[in-house]
Amino acid sequence: MWDFIQTQILGMKWLNILIGELLSALGLDIDSRIGSGIHFFIYDVIKITILLCLLIFVISYIQSFFPPERSRKIMGRFHGIGANIVGALLGTVTPFCSCSSIPIFMGFTSAGLPLGVTFSFLISSPMVDLGSLVLLMSIFGARIAIVYVVMGLMIAVAGGTLIERLHMEDQVADFIRNANSSVEIETPSLPVKERLIYAKDQVVSTFKKVFPYILIGVGIGAVIHNWIPESWIRAVLGGRNPFGVILATILGIPMYADIFGVIPIAEALLSKGALLGTILSFMMAVTTLSLPSLIMLKKAIKPKLLGTFIAICTVGIIIVGYGFNLFQYLFI
C-alpha cells in the first residue's frame, strides 16, 4: 500500500508513463537527449504544479486557524527550550519562502516574544514547512523526508536557543524593539466557507509567485538530467570531493527559490550521482539563506546578529549534509 502511495500518488508514475506515451504518439523519441529532456520537463512541471496547488490549499486552510496574534499567544505560554520547539513547529505551517517569513518574524519580535523563539520560527519556516515534507516524500521517499524535517527542526531549535543565550536583543533594529503595536488584531472565528475561500485565494496568489521558479527549477533539472555528464556531477558533488557539502551550501546562498523550485534540481542531481547530504545541504541553503532574504533581514537586525544567524545556519546545514552523506546507505 505504501509503495502505491509513494510511486503512484506522490510520485505520479502513471503521469510519467502517460506523458511518455503521448510524446511517442506525436513522433518524439523520448529516449533521445532532447526527447528525454522534454519528457522530464513536462512531467515535472505538471506533477509539481498539482502537488503545489493541493499542498497550498491544505496548508492555507490549516494556517487560517493560526493568525499571527494567535501564534504569538501560543508561543507566549512556553518558556525555555520548549518555547523554541513550539516556535520551530509553528514555522512549519507558515509561508513557503524566507522572504515571506521575515515580516512575521519582525511582528513577533516587536510584540515582545523572546528573540531566540522568533529565530527558531524564522529558520524553520522556509526550511521545513509541510510542503517540503510531502514534496520530499514524492521524490526521495518517506525516510529521507522525515529525517530531513527532523534535522531542520533541530537546526531551528538549536539556532534559536544559542541566539537566546548570547543575549543579542540589542542587535535588533531600534524601530522593531521600540514598537508598541501587537502583531495583529485577533482574527475572529471564521466559518468553513470563508476558510475555504481564503485557502483558494492563497493557492492563486502563491501559484502566481512560485510558478516562474518552478519553470526555472525544472528547466535547470532537465539540463542537468540530460546534458551534464554524470562524471562531472560525481567529481564535484559526489564522494570524490570531500568539500562537496561546503561547496553546495555556498552555491545555494546566492539563489532565490523555494522548495518547489529546488526539488527538480535536487532530483536531477541525485540521479547523476551527487551525494544525498550534499543535495540536501544545497536545498537548505537555498531556502533558508537566500541572498534576497538576507538583504531583507539586514533591515531588521544589526550586522552582528545577522552574521551570527548566517553562521549558525551554515554550520548546521553543513553538519546535516555530512551526516546524511555518512549514512546515505541507510536511506538509498
Q: Is the pLDDT of residue 270 over 60?
A: yes
Cell of 275: 551525494
pLDDT tens digits, one per residue of 51-93: 878 877 887 887 788 766 677 777 778 788 888 998 888 888 7
Answer whether 147's CB lies under 8 Å from 138's CB. Answer: no
Give the single-character DSSP code of 301.
Answer: B
Residues present in the chain in total: 332
Q: How far apart are CA 131 and CA 145, in angstroms?
A: 11
State the pLDDT at residue 268: 87
State the pLDDT at residue 184: 45
Q: How far apart are CA 247 and CA 76, in angstroms?
A: 39
**For the chain, first and last CA: distance in Å?**
20
Q: Give bridge partners of residue 301 from the DSSP assignment.
A: 172
State the pLDDT at residue 188: 52
Q: How far apart are CA 265 and CA 139, in angstroms?
A: 11
Task: Please name the residue that has the C-alpha cell 496574534.
Answer: 69
Q: Is the pLDDT of residue 241 over 80?
A: yes
pLDDT band at 139 (very low <50, low <70, confident <90, very high): confident
Q: How far apart are CA 289 and CA 317, in angstroms?
A: 10
Q: Is the pLDDT of residue 193 over 60?
A: yes
pLDDT tens digits, one per residue of 31-42: 898 998 899 899
State the pLDDT at residue 289: 84
Of 316, 314, 313, 325, nearest in space to 244 by CA:
325
Of 52, 3, 64, nearest in space to 189 by CA:
64
Tell me the whole-structure pTM to 2 decimals.
0.76
Q: Give bridge partners of residue 172 from the DSSP assignment.
A: 301
